[in-house]
Amino acid sequence: MPARTLPEPMNPAELLILVEALREAHGAHTALLYGSLADGSAGPDSDIDLALFAPIAQVRRDARWQQGRPLDVFVHPETVLAQPTAEQLCLRGARVLAQRGDEAARFLAQLDALHAAGPHPLAPDEAQVRRVWVTKMLQRLRRGDAEGDYRRHWLLMIALEDYFALRTRWYPGPKKALAWLAREAPDHHALCAAALRPGASDEAIAAWMAAVIEEPHPAPDRPGRTA
């Protein structure tokens, strides 16, 4: 199979032309670039992640291929700009490409404040439910059938988010969460990497799950929950 041709780096002028076309198509007055293209970590096949804001009642999506890159656009109701929630924390650090007045700048400042305040701790019963669920899934993934394999993947998908939730930290999405683990908890990162490796043993997965559900010590700072 021939190697896929990687797209050329996105030209800033081309990006602005694209954003203007999307704003017109969706009736949006504000546009933010976020994700790897905004924070400088983009690779040759990274998404073009855009958030638009328009006078609409509910979120719309616009996904397609744009010059060899996946384009992923969320069009938010403009009311979100005045009252951001944890759902929008993935937009922290975004680049403002267009805005009405200073709404986008104020929105991003509110997101920074929300992130700094941190998430609410899980209720004790909810934390216990999550720990029991992990143990239950560990037992069921050993069935050796399709359902057991499904539960194995399900557990591995959820465990990283639970790791952060059980420590009262914003979950920043898999890319940033794994980077945070590598930097701040390298022993746990090694366990996680071993569990995620294709063909990982049940013992490797169990070792990572033990780290996920252990009673954590308080930590001084918190990563934010982003996509």
Asked if 49 and 18 count as a contact pair (C-beta separation under 8 A), the reply is no
Q: State residue 199's pLDDT score.
A: 94
Residues of the chain with CATH 3.30.460.10: 12-117
Tokens representing residue 198 in the block? 């294709």
The per-residue pLDDT string of the chain (227 residues; one tens digit each, 9 = 90 and over) reads: 444 454 556 678 999 999 999 999 999 999 999 998 898 887 777 899 999 999 999 999 999 999 888 999 999 999 999 999 999 999 999 999 999 999 999 999 999 999 999 999 999 999 999 999 999 999 999 998 999 999 999 999 999 999 999 999 999 999 999 999 999 999 999 999 999 999 999 999 999 999 999 986 654 454 443 43
Decide: 66 and 18 in contact? Cβ < 8 Å: yes
Domain topology for 12-117: Beta Polymerase; domain 2 (3.30.460)
Sheet containing 30-34, strands listed edge to edge, beginning at the edge strand earlier in sequence: 60-66, 69-77, 48-54, 30-34, 95-98
Quickly list DSSP for 50-82.
Answer: EEEEES-SS-EEEEEEETTEEEEEEEEEGGGGT
CA distance 50 to 35: 8
Token duo for residue 119: 């998430």
Q: Which residues of 194-216 are buried (b: 16+ CB within 10 A; e: fewer)?
A: ebbeeebeeebbbbbbebbbeee
Tell me what pLDDT residue 44 has: 77
pLDDT of residue 5: 52
The CA distance from 199 to 205, in Å, is 10
Q: What pLDDT, on the 0 to 100 scale, is given for residue 4?
A: 47
The number of C-alpha atoms within 13 Å of 117 and in the hemisphere containing its C-beta is 11
